[in-house]
Chains A and B, each alone.
Chain A
Amino acid sequence: MNKGLLAALAVVLVGGVAFMLTQEKPAKEEVKVEVSEAEDAKMLTIAVPSFLTGGAAGPFGIPAMNGAKMVVDAINKGSLPAPYNTAGFGGVSASVIELDEGGGATKQVAEYRNLVEKRNVNAVVGYISSGNCQALAPIAEELKQFTIFATCGTPRIFEEAPRKYVFRTMAHATADNTAAAMYVKEKFPNTKGYTGIQQNYAWGQDSWRDFDLTMKQILPSAKASDNVQFPKIFAGQYGSEISAISLDEADLVHSSFWGGDLEAFIFQGAARGLFKEKVGVLTVGGTAAYRLGKKLPDGLVLGARGPYGILVKDRDSALNQWFVNTYKNLYGTFPSGPAYQYGQAILAAKIAYDKAGSDATDEQLADALRGASFESFSTTVDMALGGGHQAITENGYGITKYDAENGENIVTEVKFYPATCVMPPEGVNSVEWIEGGMQGAKC
């Protein structure tokens, strides 16, 4: 075969890639965490794992990492609004080690050990996958490493074993689904039946279980479908599932889909009129709100796994407005839930260091954060469960509407439910709490 032709084709390929790389991209700015030379010797090192590759990178991992770096940079400069306007973590700047969370729990356990034992990081702040958090919690305890989980959802981490060094600064997944059911009861009280489509792993199964159990408790007149769909995660093609849901008598469809799966489901469902026939309840829909633009159908019930992203964009606090405006200026888009959640976890690390001191041990840092209550960017965080290691926050939902005038999606009829209304009291297992009629819920 002609080598000249081979070379020409190689040039075409390289040229094509170069063309794509040089295309104008939305205003984005690389945030470099700035540290002065004098501080360099005694600076802290915070490892921030997040999905940087794979299907979860775009909707979750990258916004999360952006949020974390933006907040670390502001803390180093002392430019956060009060009461966090003191520079540094306990007065000392921090650098960020960015880490890819992809590759599965086994790889993450090895990476985590490497971070702690060889790279001697001061704190680990991050993680999106429930599977990774579940695998890493006992390792963090074994290594006695101060660790804050930022986004992962499974309630089991603090319900199955007491933790000393591990914290989670956002509510667990039970709140997403109890709040969703409460919203359905309030806004769609005449719902006759409900079905669901969930990714077939722990996240999807737990989400459906919690939503179904709560609906049985608070809206028993609505009948659960016996044909709930559990396609493989990252399947991408949902034609048969959408047909099955369309034929189902249920008038409401609940989904905990996230990332590319969520967006594909919305595209394919909208093209087939699914969301005109049935009410769509998307517990993680907030990540798609800014990305899909006018392709997001009106009338979807949208959650953001707590008071984050599009649900709180207009909250008028100095901290929230700083977060929204700074993020928009840096990255050219409004912050979605994961950006808030990672920023919140970094803020918790600052609170622990400010209280315990920059040279505090892991035990002292854990003592400083245990049971703390603090104002985050968009909400109040109470470390009230799991012996003071698991946060509770309010949780809310709204209904999507495309604002043609401003060319963006908004949410209407937003309703937030107090943390003590949608999460179990301390010492009570989530499933038992829902099955027992949600005793002690303060709504």
Chain B
Amino acid sequence: METFLTILLDGLQFSSYLFIVSAGLTIIFGVMKILNVCHGSFYAWGAYTAAFFIGKFSDMGMPDAVGFLIIVAAAIAVGVVLGFIIEQGILKYMYQRDEVLIVLATFGLFLVLEDIILIAFGTDPYFAYQPMALLDSVEMGGIIRDVYGLSLIGVATMVAVGCWFLLNKTKWGVILKAVIFDREMGISMGINVPYVYTLTFIGGAILGGLGGAYIAPTISVAPGLGTEVIVLSFAVVVVGGMGSIAGAAIGSLIIGILRALAVHELPQVELFVVFAVMAIVLVFRPEGLFAPAKPRKI
């Protein structure tokens, strides 16, 4: 029973981390049909920005709880600034181009942003342990768990509920679904699609930045941070169905729990599990488990 509970909590914790990052990726794809490789950079910039300012504020003697405000502020700042500049400065001019070209452009942006991180923050890692230290630890399932890690589950739940509410209970959700369903029809109905695109990209970037900013206190924030996460995020989005928030949630849960099970019971296959799930889904349901329905155009 203890092992079961531990696997469940480990799986949920890792799923939460995956979901926060991949939710932004799938929202951007769903609305804009852009496979955004530079999403990994939003994650890395979020982590660096949060770690940098948490360290600075801590040095200035501010209470550790301020770290949580910095995490949220860092995610919003990174998403708004980087998301706006990239969407308005580059992607806006590529919407009529082939989707492959846009993928290549975002890949190029990813490399550029990685290098700018080196220029801005240097190669030395940043540590921002204060928020994690503040929340202490508890015993669950016979082992000690850090409350900060568990709080990730709460953050992911809030993101999921927030996305559901936005899409299903607000006017904005109706507009987004209209653009997802048929962009041209949306324009003909008077929707300002370029405006929707900009806000969507910024929203997705904020979620990417939030993933990095929230994880920053648990890791050594060092160059190359964004590379690993983008690979995992793609796996989640492919499993869940590109463009589906529910799919990203289910994909994250499947991958997170299976990975935790592998780590505990058969650690040799831990790496294999994530991509095996992706391969199986691609074989039997290439569009992913929860891909949004596509209109048939005549």
With both beta carbons as reference points, the residue of chain A lying nearest to B53 in the complex is identified as: A20
In the complex the two chains form, is A235's CB within 8 Å of B228's CB?
yes
State which residues 257-315 of A face B: CB under 8 Å: 259-260, 262-264, 267-268, 271-274, 277, 291-292, 295
Give the shortest distance, in Å, between B5 (CB) and chain A (any CB): 10
With both beta carbons as reference points, the residue of chain B lying nearest to A246 in the complex is identified as: B143
6 new A-B contacts, CB < 8 A, other than A6-B85, A264-B218, are: A13-B82, A62-B123, A259-B222, A268-B219, A271-B146, A272-B137
Give the shortest distance, in Å, between B4 (CB) and chain A (any CB): 11
The reply to whether the CB of B101 lies closer than 8 angstroms to some CB of chain A is no
A9-B80, A61-B123, A247-B143 are known contacts. Are A229 and B198 too (CB-CB below 8 A)?
Answer: no
B267 interface neighbour in A62, A244, A246, Cβ under 8 Å: A244
CB-CB < 8 A to A54: which residues of B?
223-224
In the complex the two chains form, is B267's CB within 8 Å of A20's CB?
no
In the complex the two chains form, is A247's CB within 8 Å of B14's CB?
no
B228 interface neighbour in A61, A230, A234, A240, Cβ under 8 Å: A234
In the complex the two chains form, is B264's CB within 8 Å of A243's CB?
yes
The reply to whether the CB of A227 lies closer than 8 angstroms to some CB of chain B is yes
CB-CB < 8 A to B35: which residues of A?
none
In the complex the two chains form, is B81's CB within 8 Å of A9's CB?
yes
CB-CB < 8 A to B137: which residues of A?
271-273
Give the shortest distance, in Å, between A151 (CB) and chain B (any CB): 17
Binds A, one of B23-31, B113-121, B155-163, B236-244: B113-121
CB-CB < 8 A to A16: which residues of B?
81
With both beta carbons as reference points, the residue of chain B lying nearest to A274 in the complex is identified as: B144
The reply to whether the CB of A57 lies closer than 8 angstroms to some CB of chain B is yes
Q: A1-32 vs B: 1/0 string, CB under 8 Å?
A: 10001100110110011001101010000000
Q: How many residues of A contact B (CB 8 A)?
A: 55
20 A–B pairs (Cβ distance < 8 Å), ordered by A: A6-B84, A9-B84, A12-B81, A21-B120, A53-B118, A54-B224, A58-B123, A58-B223, A61-B123, A229-B267, A231-B270, A236-B228, A240-B10, A240-B13, A241-B267, A246-B143, A247-B143, A272-B143, A273-B137, A295-B129
The reply to whether the CB of A349 lies closer than 8 angstroms to some CB of chain B is no
The reply to whether the CB of B124 lies closer than 8 angstroms to some CB of chain A is yes
The reply to whether the CB of A200 lies closer than 8 angstroms to some CB of chain B is yes
B2 interface neighbour in A52, A240, A247, Cβ under 8 Å: A247
A200 interface neighbour in B148, B198, B271, Cβ under 8 Å: B271
CB-CB < 8 A to A23: which residues of B?
56
The 3 closest A-B pairs by CB, nearest first: A263-B220, A271-B146, A240-B10
In the complex the two chains form, is B146's CB within 8 Å of A20's CB?
no
The reply to whether the CB of B259 lies closer than 8 angstroms to some CB of chain A is yes
In the complex the two chains form, is B267's CB within 8 Å of A10's CB?
no
CB-CB < 8 A to B56: which residues of A?
23
Chain B residues in contact with chain A, CB under 8 A?
2-3, 6-7, 9-11, 13-14, 17, 52, 56, 80-82, 84-85, 88-89, 92, 116, 118-125, 127, 129, 132-133, 137, 142-146, 148-149, 194-195, 198, 215, 218-220, 222-225, 227-228, 259-260, 263-264, 267-268, 270-271
CB-CB < 8 A to B89: which residues of A?
6, 10
In the complex the two chains form, is A267's CB within 8 Å of B120's CB?
no
Instruction: Tell which of B88, B92, B123 has the most Cβ of chain A within 10 Å.
Output: B123
B142 interface neighbour in A58, A62, A234, A247, Cβ under 8 Å: A247
Chain A residues in contact with chain B, CB under 8 A?
1, 5-6, 9-10, 12-13, 16-17, 20-21, 23, 25, 52-55, 57-59, 61-62, 200, 227-232, 234-237, 239-241, 243-244, 246-247, 259-260, 262-264, 267-268, 271-274, 277, 291-292, 295
CB-CB < 8 A to B146: which residues of A?
268, 271-272
In the complex the two chains form, is A53's CB within 8 Å of B222's CB?
no
In the complex the two chains form, is B149's CB within 8 Å of A17's CB?
no
In the complex the two chains form, is B116's CB within 8 Å of A1's CB?
no
With both beta carbons as reference points, the residue of chain A lying nearest to B128 in the complex is identified as: A267
CB-CB < 8 A to A241: which residues of B?
263, 267
With both beta carbons as reference points, the residue of chain A lying nearest to B260 in the complex is identified as: A240
In the complex the two chains form, is A58's CB within 8 Å of B125's CB?
yes
With both beta carbons as reference points, the residue of chain B lying nearest to A17 in the complex is identified as: B120
CB-CB < 8 A to B85: which residues of A?
6, 9-10, 13
Give the shortest distance, in Å, between B256 (CB) and chain A (any CB): 9
Instruction: Tell which of B6, B118, B143 has the most Cβ of chain A within 10 Å.
Output: B143
A240-B10, A247-B2 are known contacts. Are A267 and B144 too (CB-CB below 8 A)?
Answer: no
Give the shortest distance, in Å, between B263 (CB) and chain A (any CB): 4
CB-CB < 8 A to B82: which residues of A?
13
| Complex Cα–Cα for A237 and B10 (A) | 11
A1 interface neighbour in B132, B198, B220, Cβ under 8 Å: B198
CB-CB < 8 A to A272: which residues of B?
137, 143-146, 149
In the complex the two chains form, is B10's CB within 8 Å of A267's CB?
no
CB-CB < 8 A to A243: which residues of B?
6-7, 9-10, 143, 145, 260, 263-264
With both beta carbons as reference points, the residue of chain B lying nearest to A241 in the complex is identified as: B263
In the complex the two chains form, is B124's CB within 8 Å of A58's CB?
yes
| Complex Cα–Cα for A240 and B15 (A) | 11
In the complex the two chains form, is B219's CB within 8 Å of A260's CB?
yes
CB-CB < 8 A to A234: which residues of B?
224, 227-228
With both beta carbons as reference points, the residue of chain A lying nearest to B11 in the complex is identified as: A240
With both beta carbons as reference points, the residue of chain A lying nearest to B121 in the complex is identified as: A20
In the complex the two chains form, is A240's CB within 8 Å of B259's CB?
yes
Instruction: Tell which of B82, B92, B260 has the most Cβ of chain A within 10 Å.
Output: B260
CB-CB < 8 A to A277: which residues of B?
144
In the complex the two chains form, is A55's CB within 8 Å of B222's CB?
yes
Instruction: Tell which of A10, A58, A239 has the most Cβ of chain B within 10 Å.
Output: A239
Give the shortest distance, in Å, between B90 (CB) and chain A (any CB): 11
In the complex the two chains form, is B148's CB within 8 Å of A236's CB?
no
With both beta carbons as reference points, the residue of chain B lying nearest to A234 in the complex is identified as: B228
| Complex Cα–Cα for A200 and B122 (A) | 27
| Complex Cα–Cα for A263 and B271 (A) | 21
CB-CB < 8 A to B267: which residues of A?
227-230, 241, 244
With both beta carbons as reference points, the residue of chain B lying nearest to A276 in the complex is identified as: B144
Instruction: Tell which of B125, B137, B225 has the most Cβ of chain A within 10 Å.
Output: B125
CB-CB < 8 A to A264: which residues of B?
218-220
B119 interface neighbour in A17, A231, A260, A292, Cβ under 8 Å: A17
Give the shortest distance, in Å, between B272 (CB) and chain A (any CB): 11
